């Protein structure tokens, strides 16, 4: 994991939940961990890892994830066995 990816990882698990995490940084982190990223229709994106899936909409028009999206990614990583 590169330094920027580690910062994104730490931001996802930070308390209180952050609202300034960039979507592209999360996708890069997910790919670096070895998870599968599938682009669906429109802004739908699916993350798959260890038989766990997360369907999420990429934020638009802004670049940052909303707090509920950060929480969903955090829960997905925990369920997939990637703990802080």
At residue 69 the predicted structure's pLDDT band, cuts being 50, 70 and 90, is very high
Give the start-to-end residue ranges of the domains of the chain.
3-79
Each residue of 13-62: pLDDT tens digit?
Answer: 999 999 899 999 999 999 998 889 999 888 999 999 988 999 999 998 89
Residue 34: what pLDDT? Answer: 87
How far, in Å, CA of 56 to CA of 69, rounded? 8
Residue 46: what pLDDT? Answer: 95
End-to-end CA distance of the chain, in Å?
14
CA distances in angstroms from 26 to 35, 62, listed in the order given:
11, 14
Its CATH architecture, for the domain 3-79, is 2-Layer Sandwich (3.30)
- pTM of the full structure: 0.89
């Amino acid at each position: 994991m590169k330094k920027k990816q580690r910062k994104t990882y730490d931001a996802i698990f930070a308390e209180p939940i952050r609202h300034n995490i960039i979507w592209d940084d999360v996708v890069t982190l997910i790919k670096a961990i070895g998870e599968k990223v599938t682009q669906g229709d429109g802004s739908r994106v699916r993350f798959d890892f260890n038989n766990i899936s997360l369907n999420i909409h990429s934020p638009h028009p802004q670049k940052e994830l909303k707090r509920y999206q950060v929480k969903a990614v955090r829960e997905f990583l925990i369920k997939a066995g990637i703990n802080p």
